[in-house]
A and B are shown apart, each in its own frame.
Chain A
Amino acid sequence: DTEVTQTPKHLVMGMTNKKSLKCEQHMGHRAMYWYKQKAKKPPELMFVYSYEKLSINESVPSRFSPECPNSSLLNLHLHALQPEDSALYLCASSQDRGRSGSGGEQYFGPGTRLTVT
């Protein structure tokens, strides 16, 4: 089973709203990721959690706030977003990479399509 679930599927929010995106996996993976994808572009890494600790923040604006309540859940809290933040937000998870650097395949959820008005 390589399923990562995300809710909601679609979200429309105003620039003054606060909302949260949720991601869940039950594959026992200890790394979870948030990506942002704009149309016709590849996914861009935003955050990485490893063993429930924030390991990478790719200089993401503070209006995006990640949270990892436990090893299966990942949230992305949104506040005061801008219209240019409209995108597909993808969650992924992976098992640990091997000592040689192999493995660690990342499996993506279906994404949340966010529109900021």
Chain B
Amino acid sequence: QKEVEQNSGPLSVPEGAIASLNCTYSDRGSQSFFWYRQYSGKSPELIMSIYSNGDKEDGRFTAQLNKASQYVSLLIRDSQPSDSATYLCAGDNAGGTSYGKLTFGQGTILTVHP
């Protein structure tokens, strides 16, 4: 069973703080990992992708991948109330195909309070 586990949350942080979202995966064949943000009643929005070990930064977001530990994380710096949403971690392992096959975690609800 290929699984992606996220810290269950909900996570509540004050405005301006760093929010840390974590994810572990069981399938060592997973090559790519994605973080999606989903506001209530809306569709998932891709915010970060990471393929290689290490950190990847984009604005206030930093994704971290450690394939040896099978661990993926997302840091949100200077958290804003508008960051309040459900964050979905997904791993992609579709073998040698041109298309992907995502396995999603259950999601972590983040609330940023003023």
Contact = CB atoms under 8 A, between A and B. Distances in A.
Interface stretch (A64-72, A74-82, A89-97): A89-97
Interface residues of A, number: 30
Contacts of B107: 42
A96 B106 CA distance: 26
What 9 pairs across the A-B complex have the smallest Cβ distances? A101-B31, A42-B104, A31-B99, A102-B51, A96-B98, A104-B100, A50-B99, A108-B43, A111-B43
Interface residues of B, number: 27
Determine chain B's interface SS by DSSP, over half rule: loop
Interface string B92-114: 11101111111011110000000
A106 B31 CA distance: 14
B46 interface: yes
Interface of A: 2, 30-31, 33, 41-43, 45, 48, 50-51, 55-56, 88, 90, 94, 96-97, 100-111
Contacts, number: 82
Contacts of A109: 43
B63 interface: no
A108 B44 contact: yes
Contacts of A96: 98-99
Nearest to B109: A40
B26 to A, nearest CB: 16
B97 to A, nearest CB: 7
A48 B88 CA distance: 20
A105 B56 CA distance: 15
Contact of A50 (B44, B51, B98): B98
B104 A43 contact: yes
Nearest to B44: A108
B98 A102 contact: no
